[in-house]
Amino acid sequence: MKILVAYSGGLDTSVLLTWLRETYSADVIAYCADVGQDEELDGLEDKALQTGASKCFIGDLKESFSRDFIFPMVQAQAVYEGRYLLGTSIARPCITQGMVEVARAEGADAIAHGATGKGNDQVRFELSAASLAPEIQCIAPWRDARFRSAFPGRSEMIAYAEAHNIPVRASMKKPYSMDRNLLHISFEAGMLEDPWFDATTPENRDMYVLSVSPEDAPDRPEYVQILFETGNAVGIQCDRLGEILAAHPEVEATGERDGYTLLSPYGIMRVLNRLGGNHGIGRIDIVENRFVGMKSRGVYETPGGTILYAAHRDLETLTMDREAMHIRDSLIPKYAQLVYNGFWFAPEREAIQALVNSTQQSVSGEVRLKLYKGNVMEAGRRSPLSLYSEDVATMEGGAEDAYNQDDATGFIALNALRLKASARQSN
């Protein structure tokens, strides 16, 4: 039997890789999708081979993840339960897509993952796989009684890893789990399972990876301007852009326009993450409703995504038709729920996306933002496709031909008809 396992090099997948090989007498191939984990991938291939994998594939999905998953979701302004920007949720279909391609190329009989039977990721992986490759079996060790008997909790897994000289970041001192990609990093489990635990104290600042604490952020604000075309960010203008790009030599500008440095979606995410993290932007601590039925507590850092969502929304207010916006907005909870629950490749998500794409045709222009101490403040927007008219909106005189205030009398009277009728009926 040949099994392709989703491998991160973390605690769970390091342990289950060996367990799968022994339990199924299988040829186990490790697969890691590079969706922006950075240094977490250092030495990953050697570690997988030393742990028992016959091969290790690392798929570079950073550009695809940004372009085909993050950006369409931002266009939909999808936010789960009003707060969560879906950083882990949106990565799972991207990772599964990469896994399926390698599984087919290698002739694998099954794919396996380290998601627990209590979490959302098991659903996201397997629903995505069902949509893309219904013929491939899915193995979930955490739903196997043999695996749970051997490893009833994280402490046993940590002890096992230490006994087998498997280097992992988790420890009994810091037993929380982390999941990182270009959009965010999440922290769950361990001391965070207590919803009263304060993750903002100085003692816990070492937990965070992508951002400084707002208290430690610079005392001076920083401006950034973002250029959009049909709902997608394509360029950035800020004083420190050269410095940021120098720190990320893998990010190459694709050109210049009107003072903006043009970047690919991946480049946009890299730059915004650096800017947001420097100003302590994008930290949230929430209790959310998991698809499997329980409530869970998580701490998230989404610095670049928080900036991108704010900029995109601000430009929409200037360029998108009111009723088109309201229809799209009415679908935000459903779209976010579909992403959260693992239905990215489902027909209904694709149908909503088609509507979203239609609304984005006019969302082109520029947005200026001020970043300061954990805050993203809108500081200006303009567009050649603007629906805003100063003549219509002005409170000053001299533009009466653009808007006749007398017309409002009939408008109000007609809208009041049904209200008066209801009032008479109830009286």
Per-position DSSP letters for 129-151, written without gaps between them: HHHH-TTSEEE-GGGSHHHHHH-
**What letter represents residue 247's amino acid?**
A
Catalytic entry in 8, 12, 89, 364: 12
Alpha carbon distance 413, 363 (integer Å): 34
Q: Is 177 a catalytic residue?
A: yes
Alpha carbon distance 345, 348 (integer Å): 8
Q: Is 54 a catalytic residue?
A: no
- For the record, the structure tokens of 224 come out as 């950034």
**What letter represents residue 121's amino acid?**
D
- Backbone Cα Rg of the chain: 25
Sheet order of strands, 375-382 included: 255-257, 260-262, 232-237, 222-229, 365-372, 375-382
Count, in order, helices (H) and strands (E) of the chain.
16, 15
Catalytic entry in 34, 121, 179, 314: 121
Q: Is 121 a catalytic residue?
A: yes
The CA–CA distances, whole Å, from 378 to 12, 66, 312 equal 42, 23, 11
Give the list of residues 6+ apart from residue 370 with CB closer than 8 angstroms, or none: 221, 222, 223, 376, 377, 379
Catalytic entry in 66, 128, 177, 364: 177
Catalytic entry in 21, 92, 124, 274: 92
Active site residues: 12, 92, 121, 177
